[in-house]
């Protein structure tokens, strides 16, 4: 409830107007809510509960079941590190270690400057380019430690110049 006063709940009213009364739309509502805030603030969950009639316990159950949902804010750049089989066989652990070393965060964490969040994902489906990572929807394949560091530094530079 720490963010109780910081979330503008009016931002999701439109979403709720469209979906609140459509049965089975809870996941869609949560996805769209997360698009708005970048995560699922507790107050938004209570608001969704009020509008949809689902109990908060049920919404929490759904929100914590799926890997996509987050209850905490994330960094500006969300790094998905692929942990698929092909990536594993092609030493994605090494890429993971490189990112951790470079950014000083582990799986699920966000850098102190709020720039990067690292998340391991099951498979990005770019197996032929293994090892792969995806940053804000853009995939990077055939990674080596050097290439990984370069990519991350490019993002940093972009931020610094912006």
Of the candidates 113, 98, 119, 100, the residue with the CA atom closest to the CA atom of residue 39? 119
| 115 touches other proteins (CB under 8 A) | no
Give me the least distance between CB of 104 and other proteins, in Å please.
12
Q: How far apart are CA 148 and CA 129, in angstroms?
A: 14
SS (H, E, C) 38-69: CCCCHHHHHHHHHHHCCCHHHHHHHHHHCCCC
Give me the least distance between CB of 139 and other proteins, in Å please.
3
**Using CB under 8 A, which of the segments 7-15, 57-65, 107-115, 150-158 binds other proteins?**
57-65
Q: How far apart are CA 97 and CA 42, in angstroms?
A: 33
Quick check: 12 and 32 in contact, CB under 8 A?
yes
**Using CB under 8 A, which of the segments 10-18, 77-85, 106-114, 152-160 binds other proteins?**
77-85
Candidates 3, 38, 141, 147; binder of other proteins (CB under 8 A) is 141
Which residues would be at the binding site for other proteins (CB under 8 A)?
23-28, 30-31, 46, 54-58, 60-62, 64-69, 80, 83-91, 93-94, 97-98, 101, 121-130, 132, 137-142, 145-146
């Amino acid at each position: 409830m720490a963010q109780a006063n910081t979330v503008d709940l009016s931002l999701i009213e439109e979403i709720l107007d469209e979906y609140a009364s459509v049965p089975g739309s809870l996941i869609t509502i949560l996805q769209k809510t997360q698009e708005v805030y970048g995560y699922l603030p507790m107050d938004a969950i209570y608001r969704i509960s009020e509008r949809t009639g689902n109990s908060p316990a049920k919404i929490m159950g759904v929100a914590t079941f799926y890997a996509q949902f987050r209850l905490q804010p994330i960094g500006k750049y969300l790094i998905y590190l692929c942990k698929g089989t092909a990536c594993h066989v092609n030493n994605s652990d090494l890429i993971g270690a490189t990112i951790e070393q470079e950014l000083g965060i582990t799986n699920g964490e966000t850098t102190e400057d709020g720039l990067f969040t690292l998340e391991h994902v099951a498979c990005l489906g770019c197996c032929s380019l293994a090892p792969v990572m995806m940053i804000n929807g853009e995939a990077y394949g055939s990674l080596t430690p050097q290439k990984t560091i370069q990519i991350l530094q490019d993002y940093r530079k972009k931020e610094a110049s912006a």
